Chain A
Amino acid sequence: MDVTVAEFIRRTVLKVPRSHIPALLQAWGFLPAARLQALDVRPLKEAIAEAVVQLCQENSASIKEAAVLDIVYNHTFQNKRVWTVYQMTKATGGETDIFDFTAFKRKFKRRIQSSLINVTINFKEFEDNAIWIRIAWGTSYTKPNQYKATYVVYHSQTPYAFISKSINRSNLPLLCQALIVASNYGDIREMELRSHCLDSLKDIVFKRYSQTFQTHHPKPLQERNVAPENVDPRLIQEDKSEKERIQRVNQEVFGDGPQPKLEFAQYKLETMFKSSPKMVNVSERESFRCLVKFSSPHLLEALKSLAPAGMADAPLSPLLTCIPHKARNYFKIKERKGVLAAGLVSP
């Protein structure tokens, strides 16, 4: 077994929290189950990593297996990376094709390797039909750098790809081209949607997030663990109807279920400064540049709880609530043409 491969496996195992090591190695599926059972995970992590490398040596692991281990690691700890959504479009509204994974892999590899020889490309398909692609980039003269790989997650027959943020931005055009060639699309563009939580990004673009739709038939009731409020009968809720209104409006906007997890939303204002006519000193023509960034461990849940907590009026501004619907969390707000009111301008 190659020394670099052994070192790569060792370092990957070292990154994994001890409690996750057995599950991860099992998901990898390379080492025989009997040997994994015998693996002792009590000693120091260095010792475990050494034992795993030993096992890999016995099974003569190659860079291919090591790369798959890396994919499994990144799949398990996908929230460690920042994911950007890319949207692909077809020039003509062609028929939905029958996606063949083998053909996809072949086309993808061929497109990249025709431009760059020193790359390691690996694929792994997961249970939820997600295809994970790992590309370790090299240059014409240097070997691929296994430690700075780019990860792409693609679901067959969807026009979206999720690409991990990486330093190798120079290779991004090549990667995008390979993607559209392999998946039979015509064009690709970066969406203004980024998050650590890959699953939430998928929920947003695949329209799986909680939305409220009006229907006549009642939905099956959901169990809710609401503790019965210990209400003093002498207390009278003065704003009961208002609270109910807020509850209703909030539910219409955000739906019942949990919100997709985003960490930030950014609004870039490029609007004119508006003031009373007396303040003549301010130049009217000067645009008022400003950047507003909302950040939270769970932004949409935070926005959802603003109105019920009494910190904002319900309903919230559509600029804040349109995030999942518009599938973007980076906005540029410009002056509407001819109208003074600020409007949302799509690119």
Chain B
Amino acid sequence: MAEAAAGNPEEGVLSRLEKLEARARALALKQEEAEQQQRQEVARLRARIRQLRRRRDELKGKVSLQQAALGRREEATSSGAEPVPTARVQERALLQWKVETVEAMLRVFYLTGISGKLTERGVCFCLSTAYDGNYLDSYYLDIVITQPVRIHRHSVPIFIPLKRIAAKYLQTDVRCFLATLSAHLNAYVGRKYQADYLQKHFSAFLGGHWQKNSLYNMLAFNYDVTTESSTFPFRVKLLYGDLDRSLPTEASVSCKEDVPASLLEKAATHSSLFMNMALHKAFDTFRKAAETPDNTEGTVPHWAGQETFLTAGMGHLRFSKSQATWMREIGTSEHQAPGLCHGQLYLAPEH
């Protein structure tokens, strides 16, 4: 045995070494292969991570986009973006449309001169005034609906006979009360507007000695009438007997007695002109006549006919007119304003 071992020592050692070498090589190869595989696996996984991240970001973006769209839709309540309009969205759109219609109606009411808002205890009315196409001041009335109805607060000028109008109509006919008060207020601002306009724009014509009062229902002043030869002072006194009208009920033009007869005639023409025409428009006519002496001074300009409507109708739509009539006039069909068909006053509840 020993000999066999010793007799073949070289072969034994070398072959062993060879075997060992081969085993080591195989092992190294295997190891390398495993490493390679691992690297590949890591790369694959890395790629997957990248891919997943991308996907996540995509989804995140999508979600935020959708949320934003949803938010917008909630704000605008529009059903357009939704592919399948649900009942809720439709309802919301309808509501939105209704709100818009009501708001538009409220604007229309404001333009008519009388609008109101329900308060906890009653109604707050706003009476806005206009004259000659100009919107002027607004006045307010806070009315408490109890028995009896009473005015809690207001901003109506003190010289407007509010107490008297209230005593007459407030308990029985609120509509009549508001219409009367509105007519008074409009007539007052109209008279004031005429006087102010005259003083501002026709001061060259006017002499001194202005006399007026708070309610502007009496106005007296001097003005100059020029003829070819000289200038004569005329004095006019206007009395506005109807407090709900902005045209005088009495106009007297006086001049000195020693003036020519033609001027006396002129004075008469003037007084009739003052009766039928707004003050500043009458003076406009005088001025035009003075510029073109061929024209006779009494010519009534084409807009004089409208004047009656403008002043009597307060320059805008009158409240007493039935709702349906002026709905048609302003081009709104009746069914578009369901709240307005029967009631004369539309009072939207407080939000």
B is a partner of A: yes
**A contacts with B: majority SS:** loop
Q: Is the CB of A205 within 8 A of B214?
A: no
Q: Is the CB of B106 within 8 A of A216?
A: yes
Q: Is the CB of A129 within 8 A of B212?
A: yes
Q: Is the CB of B159 within 8 A of A157?
A: yes
Sample of 7 A–B contacts (CB below 8 Å)? A156-B215, A158-B158, A207-B158, A211-B155, A216-B115, A217-B115, A217-B126
Q: Is the CB of B211 within 8 A of A101?
A: yes
Q: Is the CB of A100 within 8 A of B158?
A: no
Q: Which residue, of B126, B156, B215, B239, has the highest number of chain A Cβ atoms within 10 A?
A: B215
Asked if B157 is at the interface (CB within 8 A of a chain A CB), the reply is yes
Q: How many pairs of A and B residues are in contact by the CB < 8 Å rule?
A: 79
Asked if A138 is at the interface (CB within 8 A of a chain B CB), the reply is no
Asked if B107 is at the interface (CB within 8 A of a chain A CB), the reply is yes
Q: Is the CB of A215 within 8 A of B159?
A: no
Q: Is the CB of A211 within 8 A of B159?
A: no
Closest CB in chain B relative to A242 CB, distance in Å: 22
Asked if A294 is at the interface (CB within 8 A of a chain B CB), the reply is no
Residues of A within 8 A of B (CB): 93, 96, 98-102, 129, 155-160, 205-208, 211, 213-217, 325
Q: Is the CB of B213 within 8 A of A129?
A: yes
Contacts A98-B239, A216-B348 given; does A207 touch B117 at CB 8 Å:
no
Contacts A96-B161, A98-B239, A158-B159 given; does A214 touch B350 at CB 8 Å:
yes
Asked if B119 is at the interface (CB within 8 A of a chain A CB), the reply is yes
User: In the bound complex, how far is the Cα of B157 from the Cα of A98, in angstroms?
Assistant: 17
Contacts A96-B217, A155-B214, A157-B159 given; does A215 touch B126 at CB 8 Å:
yes
Q: Is the CB of B164 within 8 A of A93?
A: yes
* B109-128 vs A, Cβ < 8 Å mask (1 yes, 0 no): 01000010101000010100
Asked if B163 is at the interface (CB within 8 A of a chain A CB), the reply is yes
Q: Which residues from A are CB-within-8-Å of B142?
A: 213-214
Q: Is the CB of A217 within 8 A of B214?
A: no
Q: Is the CB of B126 within 8 A of A208?
A: no
Contacts A157-B214, A158-B214 given; does A214 touch B124 at CB 8 Å:
yes
User: In the bound complex, how far is the Cα of B156 from the Cα of A229, in angstroms?
Assistant: 39
Q: Which residues from B are CB-within-8-Å of A158?
A: 158-159, 214
Q: Which residues from B are CB-within-8-Å of A157?
A: 159, 213-215
